[in-house]
């Protein structure tokens, strides 16, 4: 008989950062709201979570992130204008965005570092497992990345980190690389995670980052975590402590296309690639790019 584990019912999206790499654009607009053609980055993240079966989404935000809340809210005046103008397609879309999930907003408090927003969600999460996805990157996969991870969690009942293969060896120094042992198929046990290794000394080419299914035991670990690099609290350091008390798995995401919108060049690449798949733009943009004298 298959063992039953607590369900993953909630997801956290840390979205309180200042996005300094995109200044001055992000002086008044959250980096998570940067447009990928006609949708902000964070909407792609939310759509992945919802497509994976989770509809309770906790956004960890700050005083400068009101546009995120507004985007997922009911825009009554806009809806009325669209309805009066007979713009049915646009009306359906803005209503769909507001109805996608149950959004809970928590203001971030505490020291800098990417473990802090996870800790800020503790009172909403309670004593149950939960997912974490960053608000400035996303993956296209079938089934969705998070759904693949939930399937692994439901089989083993252990924390799960998403993983993708880094094909360009020189890029290994950008990520946390897993020292792993194969369990079966695309599931690995993580022995340790080496942060941004020298490419020649990396334990594998499997980057373990981007999405997590974590147990509530991560909260006391973060609470007692000593500041790491730059005096900040880092989630990889907390996971390193978690590895001392229980196994952590890596799920290599099948059929994955990874989009990193955290720096300017990768963001521009993402916009172009998504636009080339857009039903209204792909032909026009492709023809335009062919005409450029580069």
Does residue 177 sit in the same domain as residue 293? Answer: no
Instruction: Note whether residue 105 is domain-resident.
Output: yes
Instruction: Note whether residue 85 is domain-resident.
Output: yes
Does residue 272 sit in the same domain as residue 239? Answer: no
Does residue 193 sit in the same domain as residue 289? Answer: no
Contacts of 69 (CB under 8 A, 6+ apart): 59, 61, 103, 105
Instruction: Note whether residue 3 is domain-resident.
Output: no
Does residue 271 sit in the same domain as residue 189? Answer: no
Instruction: Note whether residue 153 is domain-resident.
Output: yes
Q: Are 210 and 132 in contact (CB under 8 A)?
A: no
Q: Which of 128, 92, 103, 120 has the alpha carbon at shortest distance from 46?
A: 103
Does residue 140 sit in the same domain as residue 257? Answer: yes
The total number of structural domains in the chain stands at 2
Instruction: Note whether residue 26 is domain-resident.
Output: yes
The domain in which residue 284 lies consists of 263-294
Summary count for the chain: helices (H), strands (E): 11, 13
Does residue 184 sit in the same domain as residue 46? Answer: yes
Does residue 257 sit in the same domain as residue 292? Answer: no
Does residue 255 sit in the same domain as residue 268? Answer: no
C-beta pairs of 94-99 under 8 Å, 24+ apart in sequence: 97/43, 97/71, 97/72, 98/72, 98/73, 98/74
Contacts of 166 (CB under 8 A, 6+ apart): 172, 175, 177, 205, 206, 207
Q: What is the pLDDT of residues 30-64, one digit of tens each?
A: 999 999 999 999 999 999 999 999 999 999 999 88
- What is the mean pLDDT of the segment spanning 229-257? 90
Does residue 159 sit in the same domain as residue 198? Answer: yes
Q: What is the mean pLDDT of the chain?
A: 90
Say what the pLDDT of residue 1 is. Answer: 52
Q: What is the pLDDT of residues 79-138, one digit of tens each?
A: 899 988 999 998 999 899 999 999 999 999 988 888 999 999 999 999 999 999 998 888
Does residue 83 sit in the same domain as residue 148? Answer: yes
Does residue 190 sit in the same domain as residue 276? Answer: no
What gap in Å lies between CA 162 and CA 164, rounded to an integer?
A: 7
Q: What is the pLDDT of residues 170-194, one digit of tens each?
A: 888 878 888 889 999 999 999 988 8
Does residue 219 sit in the same domain as residue 280? Answer: no
Residue 235 maps to which CATH number?
3.90.550.10
């Amino acid at each position: 008989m298959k063992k039953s584990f607590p369900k993953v019912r909630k997801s956290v999206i840390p979205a309180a950062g200042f996005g300094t790499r995109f200044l001055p654009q992000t002086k008044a607009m959250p980096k998570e709201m940067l447009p990928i053609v006609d949708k902000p980055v964070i909407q792609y993240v939310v759509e992945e979570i919802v497509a994976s079966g989770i509809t309770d989404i906790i956004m960890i935000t700050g005083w400068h992130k009101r546009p995120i809340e507004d985007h997922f809210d009911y825009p009554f005046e806009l809806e009325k204008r669209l309805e009066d103008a007979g713009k049915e397609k646009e009306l359906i879309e803005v209503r769909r965005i507001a109805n996608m999930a149950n959004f809970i907003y928590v203001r971030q408090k505490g020291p800098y570092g990417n473990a802090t927003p996870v800790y800020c969600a503790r009172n909403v999460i309670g004593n149950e497992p939960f997912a974490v996805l960053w608000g400035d990157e996303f993956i296209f996969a079938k089934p969705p990345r998070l759904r693949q991870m939930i399937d692994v969690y439901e089989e083993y009942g252990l924390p799960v980190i998403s993983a993708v293969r880094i094909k360009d060896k020189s890029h290994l120094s950008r990520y946390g690389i897993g020292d792993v042992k194969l369990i079966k198929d695309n599931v690995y046990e993580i022995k340790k995670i080496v942060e941004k290794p020298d490419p020649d000394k990396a334990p594998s080419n499997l980057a373990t980052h981007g999405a997590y299914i974590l147990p509530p035991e991560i909260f006391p670990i973060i609470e007692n975590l000593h500041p790491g690099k730059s005096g900040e609290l880092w989630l990889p350091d907390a996971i390193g402590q978690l590895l001392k008390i229980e196994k952590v798995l890596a799920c290599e995401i099948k059929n994955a296309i990874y989009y990193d919108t955290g720096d300017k060049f990768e963001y521009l690449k993402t916009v172009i690639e998504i636009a080339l798949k857009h039903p209204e733009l792909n032909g026009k943009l492709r023809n335009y790019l062919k005409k450029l004298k580069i």
